[in-house]
Structure 1
Amino acid sequence: MNNVLSIQSHVVFGHAGNSAAVFPMRRLGVNVWPLNTVQFSNHTQYGHWTGSAIDADQLASLVDGIGAIGVLPRCDAVLSGYLGAPDQAQAVIDIVRAVKAANPHAQYFCDPVMGTANGCKVQPGIEEFLVSHMPEVADALMPNHSELQRLVGREIETAEEAVAACRELLRRGPKVILVKQLLDRNSPANRFNMLVVTEREAWLAQRPFYPFARQPVGVGDVTCAVFVARLMLGDALRPAFEHTVAAVNAVVKATWDAGRYELEIVAAQDQIARPREWFDAWAADGA
């Protein structure tokens, strides 16, 4: 069985970070070792939350602890997401290096969570570190549209421009770029776009866009989790991508149908594993 060390936030109530990512990966048959970067009462977009970040030295110490019992060689991948403090970013890099020293075949998947003025809140300095250092370290980067723009330092308005930006990032080190939300001025407003790019492939897919009064949090965390899990289970790039689009649609649709704000991950669990609706990907321009 594949093992993923998932370094993300934890919320007591709701679904964000590890609280959104761990269950889908396990439901798909991938074992997860959760390492929480923060312990919050709820995600930050409620406007009020309590809790704190885990000390970076403690993150390193916890990984040293599992290394001491001899299991790091069994770690097949590291997935990182929301970071609670800038020094955690360097701790993640050190952890990735420790895992790869124990298992040279292990892969590092980075969800570069940078936050927005009106949405997810991150501490100053985290964005700068992610932009400057993570492309050289990660085997795969999984930004949303805004994060992709910040990684390449320019605005992106079309799928073609996004493919070019991803190929630019690939030259810095990653082998795969998953754009978990792509804003394309040429796309209908009722469609949600996603893109995955490697040196030789570029696949674009669309699912329905659900017009929530306020969009649920954690969709990107579920997206990254399913994509990592499908690759760990042996899927090629396109089927892993298509399964991700379909599974995330099932979760979001279940949430929409229930009239909820927090994701209905448990209710949609069977469709995470076996989605009823499928969305074929097509080759993006520039592939």
Structure 2
Amino acid sequence: MIAGIDKIEQLANCDALVSGYQGSGAQCDSVAAAVAKLKERNPNALYVCDPVMGDPKKGCIVPEEVTDKLVNGLMSLADVIVPNQFELTQFTGMEINTLEDAIAACRHAISKGPKMVLVKHLHSLSDESFSMMLATEDGVYLAQRPHLEFAKQPVGVGDLISGLFTAGLVKGKSPKQAFEHAHNAAYGVLKVTHESQTWELQTIKAQDEFVEPSSNYAVQEVS
């Protein structure tokens, strides 16, 4: 795909590349090559890495070579990483149990290459609220919203958050603004999904949430 876009001389018009689940080390290598080609054509383009590795309940769900390629390659190469708490620990080697731990881990992650870290779920902070964190070189922000109980957990929430945040940055929002919008828009989609009593994200039914979220949970600067 990247070669095709480049062949028609449109790669320079691409402002961002987002990567998600990788099934093999070879796929990780292909992503790295695509990022290099994109940056060659458009040095200002963003590379956003959603480093899917697993979660506390499932543990690591990808082959060891993928974890290695993510931790020692793609995540440091990225402008923005969007890990969950488990994946942030894999990248930094730091256990996270408190807000202070999360802030320290995010700052350490930034020292390894990324300009921004969006933690899509900090499960250790609260059982009642769903917590997310954004760290940049300028500050660290916390966003919290009510926790919705699903009989079966929806699939693709991390992809949704990554896409919304990336779109906000590409449209010129500040990192804080893009974070707040992504947080509220994703919650809006989840609310509609919850009300529909399904686990398939209702992105079409809830499409207005992408433009004007119905919730307005403000983010808090914590460092």
What TM-score, normalized to structure 2? 0.95
2:128 pairs with 1:190: yes
Please name the residue that 1:213 is paired with. Answer: 151
Tell whether the 8 Å contact from 1:159 to 1:182 is kept in structure 2 after alignment.
no
Residue-by-residue CA offset, 1:19-41 (whole Å, 9 max, x unaligned): xxxxxxxxxxxxxxxxxxxxxxx
2:89 pairs with 1:149: yes
Please name the residue that 1:99 is paired with. Answer: 38
Amino acid corresponding to residue 92 of structure 2 in structure 1: V
The 10-residue stretch of structure 1 (239-248 or 113-122) with the greater mean CA deviation from structure 2: 113-122
**Alpha-carbon offset, residue 119 of structure 1:** 7.9
Change (3 A) 1:149 1:120: closer
Structure 1 residues without counterparts, runs of 5 or longer:
1-61
> Which of 233, 257, 279 does residue 217 from structure 2 map onto?
279
Aligned-partner SS, 2:121 = strand
> Which of 123, 129, 132 does residue 72 from structure 2 map onto?
132
**Alpha-carbon offset, residue 233 of structure 1:** 0.7
**Alpha-carbon offset, residue 112 of structure 1:** 0.4
Matches within 5 A, 1:1-287: 62-116=1-55, 118=58, 121-185=61-125, 187=126, 189-284=127-222, 287=223
Residue-by-residue CA offset, 1:194-222 (whole Å, 9 max, x unaligned): 00001121110101111112211111110
Amino acid corresponding to residue 204 of structure 1 in structure 2: L
Distance 1:214 1:155 in 2: 28
Distance 1:84 1:184 in 2: 28
Which of structure 1's runs of 4+ aligned residues deviate more than 3 A? 116-121
Amino acid corresponding to residue 63 of structure 1 in structure 2: I
Amino acid corresponding to residue 254 of structure 1 in structure 2: V
**Alpha-carbon offset, residue 65 of structure 1:** 2.0
Distance 2:193 2:82 in 1: 23
- Equivalenced residue count is 222
**Alpha-carbon offset, residue 118 of structure 1:** 3.2
Distance 2:54 2:66 in 1: 9
Amino acid corresponding to residue 176 of structure 2 in structure 1: R
| Percent of residue pairs identical | 41
Amino acid corresponding to residue 178 of structure 1 in structure 2: L
Amino acid corresponding to residue 84 of structure 1 in structure 2: G
Distance 2:191 2:59 in 1: 22
Distance 2:53 2:21 in 1: 8
Amino acid corresponding to residue 83 of structure 1 in structure 2: Q
Tell whether the 8 Å contact from 2:54 to 2:86 is kept in structure 1 after alignment.
no
Aligned-partner SS, 2:51 = coil
Aligned-partner SS, 2:132 = strand
Distance 1:72 1:218 in 2: 27
Aligned-partner SS, 2:35 = helix
Distance 1:99 1:144 in 2: 26
Distance 1:121 1:251 in 2: 26
Structure 2 residues without counterparts, runs of 5 or longer:
none
Aligned-partner SS, 1:229 = helix
What TM-score, normalized to structure 1? 0.74
**Alpha-carbon offset, residue 130 of structure 1:** 0.4
